[in-house]
Chain A
Amino acid sequence: MKIDIILAGVGGQGILSIAACIGMASIEEQLHMKQAEVHGMSQRGGAVQSHLRISDKPVASDLIPEGNAELIISVEPMESLRYIPFLKNNGWIVTNVKPFINIPNYPEYEALMAEINARKNVIAIDADEIAKQLKSPRSSNMVMLGAASPFIEMPFEAIEKGVREIFGRKGDEVVNKNLEALHAGRDFAQKIMNA
């Protein structure tokens, strides 16, 4: 197996927590992985992305070649479209719908969502709202991971284990909140896929 994932967002939104959980899961599964991150200037509110590559064979390039990604996970709607050249023809976009507006020329919201929804394989999810309802507003990234999990060719238990490992230091309460968020995101995506 091989799965290439682009994680997208805005500097400061913490996309690396998602990457870390999947990364941990792939280590649990004894898979090879490489994860290219963005550090530096773009972290000041600029567009950021991470390339996550997982395979049962050694991974060569740290960067995903164009047209190779199975999945784009974006914690911000406009950012979900920025990396389309990397997405496979039949690849999936899993995106949060809550915009992060820090530029004067942010597109009109309805038009943006229309553009996103016009694409064939999309899960658009209000991760912030779901996290808020779970009384865990800071877990929206785990909602996103949950929504993306059906497209990650790995046992769901491995991803759960990844979440446990990554948040373990912060105590059981934080771990459980994040697992709850993970499940909520997964349920949401599965409902859409089965519809």
Chain B
Amino acid sequence: MQKLLLLGAEAIAQGAIDGGMSGVYAYPGTPSTEITEYVQHNKLAGERKIHSQWSANEKTAMESSLGMSYAGKRTMVCMKHVGLNVAADVFINAAITGVNGGMLVTVADDPSMHSSQNEQDSRFYAKFAMIPVLEPADQQEAYDMAYYGFQLSEQFNVPVMIRITTRIAHSRAAVAQKPLQPENKISLPTDLKQFILLPAIARRRYKGLLSSQESFEISSEESKYNKYIDGADKSMGIIACGIAYNYLMENYPDGNLPYPVIKLSQYPMPRKMVNKLAKETKSLLILEEGYPIIEEMLKGYLEKENVKGRLDGTLPRDGELNATLVAKALGFNVPEVGTVPAIVANRPPAMCAGCGHIDAYNALNEALAVYGKGRVFADIGCYTLGALEPYEAINSCVDMGASITMAKGAADAGLVPAVAVIGDSTFTHSGMTGLLDAIQEGTPITVMISDNFTTAMTGGQCSHAYGKIEDICKGLGVNPDHIRVFTPLKKNHDEMVKIMKEELEYNGVSVIIPRRECIQTMGRKKREDAAAN
């Protein structure tokens, strides 16, 4: 069969389709978005009617996925690392309910924070939930792990995590496909109480999860993804996790690595394998893309000096790994390289020319001028770029939904007026419940929902808020007189400022909605229409 040239994210999608998946559930988030988009555009997935529509947020996505598993079918839920925080409740509990149809939880971490607020390592979550993790080293493993992952999940009766990082998600390589598996037939769990986590049942199931840990470990020992590769030089043993294995091998182009190595791609950590390595070598070097989770386990409280990695400065404590950093850790002399000439200016991302968020911010800055700076709690999306010059229009960006609730808390403290700025997609992701809190108490906040009809930052996915924002606000209890809609355009500047000033003075919850289509999605539609004609 001809090989496919796929991003790591796409390889996971193709592997899951070929492995008999009946539905993927997700909310977009870099670097995970391309998994779901691949399923949405895949022909076979269309023919099989594999579910692939976006969910409102990561929690609703994972719960739907668990529901599909309950009904006996194979399913995957995908998110970026911070999305797992949103879905953490169902995630931890799904390890206790267990599954019926195989369930994969695919999480894409973003070390170095290319497009994220933090670089948390999802392997910690999996350890917390006590479920197995598969961490591919390359695109082929990404495919294979999604393909086989369903079996593993069904065999052990728990969700299985696939953990990837930005580099593998967004790097393309050739991938060989495996034979297409049939989908599972619909079937109920044999025990109809399995998913009822009442204390009596939860205790029993939790004990079951605890006693499964040994079999998870045996599976790691025997896994084809974990390899013990012996070497003659026993002065050091190396454990290379996931993609870090590639950065290691990059330093040995002929493949002649002198040290014994464990290529680690399935967790929990295979204890016997690691013990053998520790016994046979004088020191250990741990290479992990992410937090030093394995290193900390091995180094422990006793700070064993012969364990090296991110904690002792052999490697940087934060950020992505690369072959050069690993070369230095191995003690190689790294050749001098050229430097970036001083004339090169930074080019950070910015809002696009003609973007409606810009006009809204220009008006907001003017309307707020009399009150002084420091009152705008923003959220996550393209409009977060309003933090940068020349706008410097916002004062916070923490997690999705936090704009409205932080504005509420600040208003409770007496910072009035306080403004929340949130995008349409973020509003339905997790802004609505916070708005309900404010309405419940009549907190004087001004909520600006900057509506561009799409989830722009992640590439223009559909927004669940489309056409519903006023109705949602009214339904939650916002006084309709204080829901103000306008078109953010330069020519409407004075009108916008006037509306904003009025609502900033209102002693209650007001919602202002600048509404104009994202110019990126508009341009794309125009191009598609032109191509179709």
Contacts and interface: CB of A to CB of B under 8 A. Distances in A.
Interface of A: 10-11, 23-24, 27, 32-47, 51, 57, 59-63, 65-67, 78-79, 81-87, 102-107, 111-112, 115
Interface of B: 3, 5, 7, 30-31, 33-34, 114-115, 167-168, 170-174, 243, 246-247, 249-250, 253, 322-324, 327, 334-341, 343-353, 382, 385, 389-390, 457-459
B335 A44 contact: no
Q: Which 6 A-B pairs have the closest CB atoms?
A: A40-B115, A40-B30, A46-B349, A62-B171, A61-B250, A44-B349
Contacts of A102: 347, 350, 353
Contacts of A105: 345
A94 B422 CA distance: 42
Contacts of B247: 60-61, 63
B313 to A, nearest CB: 20
Contact of B340 (A37, A57, A81): A81
A60 B174 contact: no
Contacts of A27: 3, 5, 174
A62 B347 CA distance: 24
B514 to A, nearest CB: 19
A76 to B, nearest CB: 9
27 contacts: A27-B174, A32-B174, A35-B171, A37-B7, A39-B30, A39-B31, A40-B114, A44-B352, A51-B171, A60-B246, A60-B250, A61-B246, A62-B171, A62-B243, A65-B322, A65-B327, A67-B336, A67-B337, A78-B344, A81-B341, A83-B340, A84-B341, A85-B338, A85-B339, A102-B350, A103-B347, A104-B389
Contacts of A36: 167, 170-172
B348 A46 contact: yes
Contacts of A35: 171-173
A105 B348 CA distance: 12
Contacts of B34: 39
A105 to B, nearest CB: 5
B168 A62 contact: yes
A104 B458 CA distance: 26
Given A27-B5, A67-B336, A81-B344, 19 more contacts: A24-B5, A27-B3, A35-B173, A39-B115, A41-B349, A42-B349, A43-B349, A44-B382, A44-B457, A46-B349, A60-B250, A61-B247, A62-B167, A67-B338, A84-B338, A103-B346, A103-B348, A104-B390, A107-B345
Nearest to B2: A27
Contact of B343 (A32, A45, A107): A107
B170 A37 contact: yes
